[in-house]
């Protein structure tokens, strides 16, 4: 049953995109925060991860991919959905690590005065 968000099944979507892809996206966010990289490099890495996630949907679960051109529209739609979800995971990972970095490096600013 194809939905607006998932293509083959909800359980397949949750396993591939949310669990596997989300863990990879969290690590992308973490690595860009640790190296103090910008949001542009995070967006590029998430794009590469999205292509990989779409390929897993295609290869293992008979989902659509960007090629052949007959399935490009469906693949693009679900690719955009995957990208948004993975970007949210990456942004959360980046914000989590960056806040820890900032509180450790500038701890005096976060302490409450008596």
Q: Looking at the predicted structure, is the pLDDT value of residue 76 above 70?
A: yes
pTM across the whole model: 0.87
pLDDT (average), residues 51-65: 91
Task: Render pLDDT for 1-50 as a digit per residue (tens, 0 to 9).
Answer: 567 788 888 899 999 999 999 999 999 999 999 999 999 999 999 999 99
Measure CA of the first residue to CA of the last residue in the chain; give whole Å: 59
The residue ranking higher by pLDDT, 19 or 67, is 19
pLDDT (average), residues 74-82: 91
pLDDT at 44: 98
Tokens of 49: 């991860």
pLDDT at 114: 44
For the chain, the helix, strand and coil percentages under 3-state DSSP, each to the nearest 5:
80, 0, 20
Q: Looking at the predicted structure, is the pLDDT value of residue 85 above 50?
A: yes
Grade residue 86 by pLDDT with cuts at 50, 70 and 90: very high
Domains of the chain, residue spans:
23-107
């Amino acid at each position: 049953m194809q939905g607006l968000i998932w293509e083959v099944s909800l359980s397949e979507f949750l396993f591939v995109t949310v669990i596997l892809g989300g863990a990879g996206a969290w690590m992308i966010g973490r690595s860009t925060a640790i190296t103090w990289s910008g949001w542009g490099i995070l967006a590029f890495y998430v794009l590469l991860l999205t292509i990989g996630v779409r390929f897993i949907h295609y290869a293992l679960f008979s989902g659509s991919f960007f090629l052949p051109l007959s399935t490009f529209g469906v693949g693009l739609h679900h690719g955009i959905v995957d990208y948004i979800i993975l970007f949210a995971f990456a942004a959360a990972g980046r914000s989590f690590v960056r806040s820890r970095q900032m509180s450790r490096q500038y701890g005096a600013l976060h302490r409450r005065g008596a």
